[in-house]
Amino acid sequence: MTTTVNGQRTAIVTGAARGIGAAVALRLARDGLAVGVVDLDETDCAGTVEAIRHAGGTALAVGADIADEDAATAAVDRVAAELGPPTVLVNNAGIGPRAPLVDMTTQQWDTVLGVNLRGPFFLTRAVGPHLIAAGWGRVVNMSSISAVGDAARVDYGSSKAALIGFTKSLALQLGRHGVTANAIAPGFIVSDMTRTSARRLGVDFEEFRRDAERSIAVGRVGVPQDVAHAASFLVSPDAGFVSGQVLYVAGGPVD
């Protein structure tokens, strides 16, 4: 039996100020969920929240550094207090700067692992009691095709691979409470991250995008809404027999 306020389930989406996170937040709101829009700066969440409210949905902007244990816990507590106990969590926030292994500092490694792995742990741990109390829940962790190996970003690839292990372990541990846990692994998605990658390589983004398209089976790169559609299914009541899985949203097979 799910816990709702006024018949509405509550979701938390991290990294939801823009890009994939914003698209996921908007889609879940369209699906009828109240959404806690979490990002580093609360003011940056205003656009996503306004778009949700303009469409008739319910949303709350929450600023939090999810790599900080206290901040992550406080964010969940605030969403629970103002929107209702969260039973859907989408751990989307992530960073992935490029740096060669020999030049990578310990601080750079720790920063990437902090956001990409520690953050999802902190958020999921804080949401866990609400999921268990409700006897129902959905956790979706945003991995990446980089989980199979990323020559340019060993820190990023490592964090995204670890997130898959985290997801499968959650599925095994929380399944008896009616909770599913799955990962989405996007390929090339038009986003701030891919634009930043192009800039760092000194390549025009449109050229970067066209190069990527030539290696993708469906002949195009992805957009944030492609990932949002996948998240919508995985958090739905109809996906109750899908758990511990990795859904590649990459336009083709991934080695």
Active centre residues (catalytic)? 156
Measure the CA–CA gap between 226 and 1, rounded to whole angstroms: 30
Structure tokens at 109: 């490694």
SS3 letters for the chain? CCCCECCECEEEEECCCCHHHHHHHHHHHHCCCEEEEEECCHHHHHHHHHHHHHCCCCEEEEECCCCCHHHHHHHHHHHHHHHCCEEEEEECCCCCCCCCHHHCCHHHHHHHHHHHHHHHHHHHHHHHHHHHHHCCEEEEEECCHHHHCCCCCHHHHHHHHHHHHHHHHHHHHHHHHCEEEEEEEECCECCHHHHHHHHHHCCCHHHHHHHHHCCCCCCCCECHHHHHHHHHHHCCHHHCCCCCCEEEECCCCCC
